Amino acid sequence: MSLRGLIGMAMENRRRWLALLVMAAGMLVEPGPEGVADGATARPNVLWFVVDDMSADFSCYGGRRVATPHVDRLAREGTLFEHAFTTAPVCSPSRSALITGMVQTAIGAQHHRSGRGALKIELPSGVRPLPAMLKDAGYHTCIGDGLGVSGDGQLGKTDYNFQWDRAIYDASDWGARQPGQPFFMQVMLPGGKLRGESIESIRALSKRAIDTFGAAVGLDDVELPPYLPRDPVLLEDQAAYLSAVRFTDAHVGLVLARLEAEGILDDTVVIFMTDHGISHARGKQFLYDEGTRIPLVVRGPGIPRGVRRSDLVMQIDLAAITLAAAGVAQPASMQARDPFAPGSEPREAVFAARDRCDETVDRIRSVRTPTWLYVRNFHPRRPHLQPNAYKDGKAIVQRLRELHAEGSLNPLQEQLLFAAQRPEEELYAWPADRHQLRNLAADPAHAADLADLRRRLEGWMAACGDSGPEPDAMYDSDMAVYLAPGRPEVERNIATMKAWWAEGK
């Protein structure tokens, strides 16, 4: 059964499902070693929720349109980070960074879905995926849906851009671990992808929300950022996205119920996060808040309860948190930091990078301090919404292009979404300018801040060995995979990319 179907079944039959979980707990949990009661382990289990395409739109983060009691519970019983940011606003570079504790540009994994063709990407010497390190330390490593009922052993989403051995994962679930053995579980959830790309799939999810929860989000209740018009297609999409938030929270609740039924919730460090923000015209694939700001909540043994932290953290820091919880030494070269470590100093800045996404070539870098967000566009002569088959296949982007062609967008929307060129540098006072609407890079009053941020970014890029444009041979290797099914729109876009590159654009 698909994950989508599994969630639907679970929600429609919740009481019966929880009873089955309790029964399953009695069958799955083996007696622990002597001196360890009720299935508890000497070292904590670690469980990650990693959600696709979703911003911090949960009620514990101030979201007002849908209730998210289960993620809220994690926040109430653990620590919530208000200012957590991904290092990449698209799935595969983000997940490659997360699983190694290394920024994707430092390991050559920055291009989306790269290394899939004839040319492969190998991790640098000394860099290992986290599951391999934990497996060496005696952990049962697994990746799946967290419900433990699929039984097919198929692993959950990985999407790593480098070569890796499937053996770093023991199974798709923790149920098959040895008696008393701690586990590292990655629960992979589709999140914002539940709403699909077409208007039909958007409406189908809203209908499913009515069937499951008794109501869906009304269009009049939807909030959109100022750079998006209040068009019916965009409003329906946002309403369906909020239903996806609710379905995600419900799945979290089922996994927490299973942990409780097995008597191991309080022996488990539970971490909830998303890989990047919402998929939209200025979200996924871009370095503004809508693309890089993510929820991050941690609950479990040794984690302060009921705490909200405002310091800056990077998504890769989960690797350091996990290794510390497991009692595994962090490699000296790993870039992750444990914000719970005694004497830990807050990060002065966090960084992010966007590179090729599918067939579409771009290179954007950013540095964020508690005061400023600085963005550098390395291809400023290319439009913000470059041709991209993935994004152009979405009903919301198609509608935006139609409104642009009709002249129906207001000047702000035209400027931010459809200007023929982008500024080389962007500077935002992001805590106040939450949608990054006012670019202050040209303001002489902020020249000193701009120069400081420019130096910070260049220093970080040098320290990471940021390698610049993707070699032609690697691009062609990966594009051969994209073109294999026969996709004329991708072929056209590749030709455009190469023409622009030849023009120095």
Per the structure block, which two tokens stand in for 482? Answer: 């994209």
Chain center to CA of 325:
22
| Three-class SS state of 187 | strand
Tell me the per-residue pLDDT of 291-341, one tens digit each, with 9 for 90 and over.
999 999 999 999 999 999 999 999 999 999 999 999 999 999 999 999 999
CB 65 within 8 A of CB 424: no
Measured CA to CA, the distance from residue 86 to residue 353 in angstroms comes to 9
What is residue 484's predicted lDDT score, i.e. its pLDDT? 87
Tell whether the model's pLDDT for residue 13 goes beyond 70: no
For β-strands 268-274 and 45-51, DSSP reports them as: parallel
Per the structure block, which two tokens stand in for 407? Answer: 């002249």
- Taking residues 270-292, what's their average pLDDT? 98
Residue 320 backbone dihedrals phi, psi, to 5 degrees: -70, -40
For helices 199-213 and 232-261, angle between their N-to-C axes, nearest 10 degrees: 50
Q: Nearest Cα to 501, choosing from 375, 381, 366, 391?
A: 381
- Taking residues 450-474, what's their average pLDDT? 96
Domain total of the chain:
1
CB 173 within 8 A of CB 144: yes
The strand pairing partners of 49, in sequence order, are: 187, 272
AA identity, residue 166: R
What is residue 224's predicted lDDT score, i.e. its pLDDT? 97
CB 106 within 8 A of CB 151: no
Chain center to CA of 100:
15
For β-strands 373-377 and 425-428, DSSP reports them as: antiparallel
Q: Which residue has the tokens 């098959």?
A: 176
What does the angle CA 30 – CA 35 – CA 40 come to, to the nearest 5 degrees?
45
Q: Residue 420 sits in which domain range?
A: 3-31+40-502
- Taking residues 397-406, what's their average pLDDT? 98
What is residue 378's predicted lDDT score, i.e. its pLDDT? 98
Tell me the per-residue pLDDT of 246-267, one tens digit each, with 9 for 90 and over.
999 999 999 999 999 999 999 9
- Eight-class DSSP state of 33: S
Tell me the per-residue pLDDT of 92-141, one tens digit each, with 9 for 90 and over.
999 999 999 999 999 999 999 999 999 999 999 999 999 999 999 999 99
Q: How confident is the model at residue 486 (pLDDT cuts 50, 70, 90)?
A: confident
Per the structure block, which two tokens stand in for 217? Answer: 């989000």
What is residue 150's predicted lDDT score, i.e. its pLDDT? 52
Q: Which residue has the tokens 């904590």?
A: 44
